Amino acid sequence: MPKTNHGALRGRIARELDDLRAQAQFRTLEVPGGINLCSNDYLGLAADPRLKQALLDAVARSLLTGSTGSRLLSGNDRAWEELETEFADFAGTETALCFSSGYAANIGLLGSLLQPGDIVFSDALNHASLIDGIRLSGPAKIVYPHGDLEFLEHALREHRDAKGAKLIVTETVFSMEGDVAPLRDIVRLAQAYGAELVIDEAHAIGVRGPQGRGIAAELGLERDILAIMHTCGKALASAGAVVCGSRALRDLLINRARTFLFSTAMPPYLAGQIRAALHLARAAESERAHLRHIATALRQALAAAGHSFGASTTQIVPVLLGDNETALHVAAQLQENGFAVKAIRPPTVPPGTARLRLSLTSRISLEDVRRLAAAIHTACQSAPQTSSASTVHA
């Protein structure tokens, strides 16, 4: 019998888990309880009875419970094509194509667009799905410091005569910082230096722009951008994602995006749910106004108590705490006080920037926000180290 080496991999698993525990980076799954501040349900649609009814109606209309295959085989359904037409109108683009998640959309999109020899300019704080999409497709990658236009312009100028394609990739509302990319300037640079642009509106959809149509629509730049990725699992309280752009882009994705080609389509009734969510999100003006109001109130309360929330200007408000232990301590204290809050630690955020990521939803009251700010302050004071909770960058 050849000697087996089972022990090697199992030993490595145990060591990795021990390392994670030692670095206070070991994660477990929990069901959130209390006032939920770690949800992306920004418009509160996840518990909206109108959306639930729309889903039930869509299920009742659907002949099939499952899609039965990839969209290129048996899985296509008119419900998806109707949704895509409506989504293109929403995004302000010629066409749209649905994917089963934002992660799959970004991987499929970047994998279809890029090849070795191309150059990608990627914001340092881009989401893992963008990073992985770039990594998998093999272009040269230049990571520019978060939002640093000077660096980006310098890098674009340096590679002005490069033979391959040039692509800038950025989120619009950044998921961990809650700030907004300088999109107008990025578009200007892209045009000046012959680069294309892919944006991820995961945290802007439903929240920013006219009718919640996102930052590109807010700035009227929809047709200047090669591809706009919107997710449906956050403010739309559904699941899936949509890549919006030209007809040629859609055709390319249908033919080349591996996460589209080689994956079972989502059940057709979900298209009905997403469509209803889109209608509700477009009309949710009072929810958007409330969200802006409570986010401003939270930042004001944190600033008054000397806590840093970075450059947040949106419904996502980080409380920067520095080391993992402090972040875990403060999160645990808040949980005890009835706030569902998570400590966000490296590698999700850069080392030394562990934080609470407070994501507000329109169902949270101003009173809750005030109680939250007070509870954060109390928890920080009892933390073993309150390393960075002191400097405010407004």
Catalytic residue among 40, 126, 238, 312: 40
Q: For residue 287, give both structure tokens.
A: 């929810």
Q: Which is nearer to ligand PLP, 235 or 364 (CB)?
A: 235
Q: Which of 146, 234, 307, 342 is catalytic?
A: 234
Give the span between the Cα atoms of 31 and 117, in whole angstroms: 45
Q: Is the peptide bond before 182 cis (omega within 30 degrees of 0)?
A: no
From 137, 170, 231, 333, residue interacting with ligand PLP (rule: CB under 6 A): 231
Residue among 72, 84, 99, 115 nearest 259 (CA): 99
Distance CA 2, CA 295 (A): 63
User: From the candidates 146, 203, 329, 342, which is the catalytic residue?
Assistant: 203
Which residue, 91 or 202, has its beta carbon nearer to ligand PLP? 202
Contact yes or no for 265/238 (Cβ under 8 A): no
Write down the catalytic residue from 48, 123, 171, 218: 171
Which region among 83-91, 98-106, 328-336, 367-375 touches ligand PLP (by CB under 6 A)? 98-106
Could you tell me the smallest distance in angstroms from the CB atom of residue 337 to ligand PLP? 26
Number of Cα atoms under 13 Å in the Cβ half of residue 110 = 34
203 counts as catalytic: yes
Contact partners, residue 173, CB within 8 Å, separation at least 6: 179, 180, 181, 201, 202, 203, 204, 207, 208, 215, 314, 316
**Region binding ligand PLP by CB under 6 A among candidate stretches 42-50, 85-93, 95-103, 380-388:** 95-103
The maximal CA–CA distance of the chain, rounded, in angstroms, is: 71
Touching ligand PLP, residues 100-159 (CB under 6 A): 101-103, 106, 127, 129
CB-based contact 273:51 (threshold 8 Å): yes
Residue 366 — φ and ψ, nearest 5°? -60, -40
Q: x/- string (CB under 6 A) for ligand PLP, residues 190-209?
A: ----------x-x-------
Applying CB under 6 A, the span of 49-57, 99-107, 160-168, 244-252 interacting with ligand PLP comes to 99-107
Q: Is 200 a residue of the active site?
A: yes
Please tell me whether residue 241 binds ligand PLP under the rule CB under 6 A.
Answer: yes
Gap between the Cα atoms of 133 and 111, Å rounded: 6
279 is catalytic: no
Residues near 253 by Cβ (< 8 Å), separated by ≥ 6?
Answer: 97, 108, 109, 112, 243, 260
Of 187, 238, 241, 235, which Cα lies nearest the Cα of 211?
A: 235
Q: Examine the residue annotation and report whether 40 is marked as an active-site residue of this protein.
A: yes
Residues that bind ligand PLP (rule: CB under 6 A) add up to a total of: 13
Q: Is 349 in the site for ligand PLP (CB under 6 A)?
A: no
Residue 171 annotated in active site: yes
Kindly report the CA angle at 209 between 204 and 212, in degrees rounded to 5? 65
The mark string for 164-183 relative to ligand PLP (x by CB under 6 A, - otherwise) is -------x---x--------
User: How many angstroms separate the CA atoms of 77 and 3, rounded?
Assistant: 52
Based on the residue annotation, tell me whether 307 is a catalytic residue of this protein.
no
Looking at 212, 233, 272, 322, which residue binds ligand PLP (CB under 6 A)?
233
Q: Which is nearer to ligand PLP, 171 or 323 (CB)?
A: 171
- Reply yes or no on whether 150 is catalytic: no
DSSP code at position 173: B
Bridge-partner residues for 97, per DSSP?
243
Residue nearest to ligand PLP (CB): 102
Give the catalytic positions in this structure: 40, 127, 171, 175, 200, 203, 234
Q: Footprint of ligand PLP on this chain (CB under 6 A)?
A: 101-103, 106, 127, 129, 171, 175, 200, 202, 231, 233, 241
